[in-house]
Chain A
Amino acid sequence: MSESDAPIRVVLAKLGLDGHDRGLKIVARILRDAGMEVIYLGLRQTTDSIVAAAEQEDADAVGLSMHNAGHMTLAPAMVGALRAAKLTCPVIVGGIVPDDDVEALLDAGVAAVLGPGASASEVAQVVRDAVAAAEASDDATVGGSKVET
């Protein structure tokens, strides 16, 4: 688990077939410019490949970009796969998500949803807050972002 002054490590990925990667690439640069370490997996990732990357890279957060209206199926599946692997890192979703879906995604365990038009500073802040919140709840419960098996 990263020390509080170590840079935040974020895995960024497109889950599934959706190829719209403009937003995710911009987010990658925004987070890098904000001092974070970005592990950019790119296109056509599966929940398994993202879990593997999050484990290997000791990621503090997973960012998914979704533009094909598959978020209600895929985002909860991602949260489920991470938790099944005993990873507590927060999942942040960006892209085209209708307002009415945000609540349901948060209920399904997604840490935050970034809509179109979020500014660079908002993007970085949302990631920082999500990581901080996850670490706080970890300290209270499991005591780490990852449990070795």
Chain B
Amino acid sequence: MPVLEDQATTTGDDMTQHHDEQARQAYRRAYQAAEKAGRLRDVPFETMSGVPVESVYGEPPYPGQYPYTRGVYPTMYRSRLWTMRMFAGFGTAEDTNTRFKEILRNGGTGLSTAFDMPTLMGRDSDSQWALGEVGRAGVAVDTLADMEDLFADIDLSGVSTSMTINGPAAIVLAMYIAVAEKGGVARADLAGTIQNDIFKEYQAQKEYIYPPRPSVRIVTDMIRYTSAEMPRWHPISISGYHIREAGSTAAQELAFTLANGFAYVEAAIAAGIDVDEFAGRLSFFFNSHSDFFEEIGKFRAARRIWARWMKERYGAADERSMLCRFHTQTAGVSLTAQQPENNIARVAIQALAGALGGTQSLHTDSYDEALALPTEKAARIALRTQQIVAHETGVANVADPLGGAPFVEWMTDEMERQAEAVFAHLDELGNGSILEGVYAGIENGYFVGEIADAAYRFEREVNEGRRMIVGVNAFTDGNEEGGADILRIGNEVEDLQRKRLAGVKHQRDSEVVARALAAVTEAASSSDTNLMPPILDAVKTYATLEEVVMAMEKVFGTYVEKAII
């Protein structure tokens, strides 16, 4: 199938035409190389009615070409569909392990772990703080023993695992490495992502432990460690998702997320790591909300901005360092408790926006998530929804199919313009450093203030009826119809988990644990020492998550947010 041969040539002067022709040829070569290497999926690239379609249409730069507005890879979904990565985790590690296997059996291609609130905050299940929250919104992990159960009978060299945790990320990554190595899988063979995006915790999600600067030191230690030892691991997933869920606009989500990305890059460079050594393994995580074209413009702008800043401001030379590869999740906050089945339609539209925006992986929310954690059936429908988008709609045949449409290009430019205004503000706040600007914006309440203002504005518009939400302030017939079945986690999980933890503590060698924890504290107080090796040693002694957290807290202190409405 010829690529780009029958398409009209561009107008413009000779120079432009020559340049465009070169881009076209380069694209054709890249595509044909993939084809020859057998990297295309074995499906007909034609419409439902049998009309063959090309892999891309319109003007250069094409997908896989700087600044990657149209996609990070030349063949995009013709080679590989996005990863259908469904976030799951509840109850005990065994419960979640069962759900994981169910996902893999159902054609899911990646695992994604939700931890419960105490784990996310670095607290053990027997902590006073954990009361009522153990195993409720995710899986409880106290020690390596829980992690062993979580991934039991799953070949860790054959899956890619995403772990959504931030404050205690280093400890949980260490536990994952320890489980793999016990099962004979080398850390170098592990593929996956740990969220580990601490900046957005201060800005939106609020799951921080230590103050920003020591937290960023842990992050740079992890970047250094994974760069050297885990070539297939993504040490941070820079996440706008939670910023959006907390109420930001699309442009704020884009701007704050990329600014956080720049800040991590500056921190790693300042720690003496070469930009091309780590930037290729940074990945992103965006929200896909209901305003279809705004979302698509946001995704396209993200790729263009990241590429340009990495190349021009941070001197990246490796193409991989310039690629903004991202995971997408549909907008949990858009789901309504009223007529919950309507959420299936919302999720389908948001998933489609993610696909048209060129996402690398996608989580589709379950329709019952405004009520509780998803039931198995609701989670299956959510996975089926994206499978329908992938396999039935034909959108995976053509990369960036909306590229070139005037409205889409305008929206992309507009998202970029608004984001650049935020970068300029942060750059000024930090006297020429985005990293310092982000620290300053956290300290002076800039991020939380902007997000709260946007959230309130939206809420008022809904309240005043200027913005229609089906089932909430319009078309409410049917709201009285009784409820969807919901998943319930009983108190027995909490009791069970506490007993388990007590058992592990009883069996381990407490002197060995104490020595390992002391080594973590010592490493924390010396900024030249990488924290990862002593943390790995500590988790192998079955030191608990909270014990390791506290070993560092002795040096780093804690963070308390100023309460701003």
B132 touching A40, Cβ below 8 Å:
no
A115 touching B460, Cβ below 8 Å:
no
- Chain B residue nearest to A119 (CB atoms) is B463
Q: Mark B117-142, 1 if CB is under 8 A from A, else 0.
A: 11011010000011111001100000
Given contacts A68-B133, A116-B370, contact A40 B563 (CB under 8 A): yes
B246 touching A68, Cβ below 8 Å:
no
- Residue of A17, A29, A40 near B121 (CB, 8 A) is A17
A: interface residue count bin: 35 or more
Q: Mark B338-382, 1 if CB is under 8 A from A, else 0.
A: 100000000000000000000000000000001111000000000
- Residue of B117, B336, B472, B482 near A17 (CB, 8 A) is B117
- How distant is the Cα of A137 from the Cα of B123 in the complex, in angstroms? 40
CB distance from A37 to the nearest CB of B (A): 12
A68 touching B563, Cβ below 8 Å:
no
B: interface residue count bin: 35 or more
B561 touching A25, Cβ below 8 Å:
no
Q: Which residues of chain B come closer than 8 Å to A44, judged between CB atoms?
A: 560
CB distance from A73 to the nearest CB of B (A): 3
Q: Which residues of chain B come closer than 8 Å to A42, judged between CB atoms?
A: 561, 563
- How distant is the Cα of A70 from the Cα of B129 in the complex, in angstroms? 11
Q: Which residues of chain B come closer than 8 Å to A99, judged between CB atoms?
A: 482-483
Instruction: Scan residues 55-71 of chain A and give those whose CB is less than 8 A from a CB of chain B.
Output: 68-71
CB distance from A56 to the nearest CB of B (A): 15
B336 touching A29, Cβ below 8 Å:
no
- How distant is the Cα of A119 from the Cα of B206 in the complex, in angstroms? 26
Q: Which residues of chain B come closer than 8 Å to A29, judged between CB atoms?
A: 456, 565
Chain B residues at the A interface, C-beta cutoff of 8 Å: 117-118, 120-121, 123, 129-133, 136-137, 205-207, 245-247, 333, 336-338, 370-373, 452, 455-456, 459-460, 463, 472-473, 482-483, 486, 488-489, 491, 560-561, 563, 565
With A25-B452, A26-B455, A120-B463 known, 4 other A-B pairs at CB within 8 A are A17-B121, A18-B133, A25-B455, A115-B337
Q: 15 A-B Cβ contacts within 8 A?
A: A17-B120, A17-B123, A18-B117, A18-B133, A22-B455, A25-B455, A42-B563, A43-B206, A68-B117, A69-B133, A69-B373, A69-B489, A70-B136, A74-B131, A116-B370
Chain A residues at the B interface, C-beta cutoff of 8 Å: 16-19, 21-22, 25-26, 28-30, 32, 38, 40-44, 68-74, 77, 96, 98-100, 115-117, 119-121
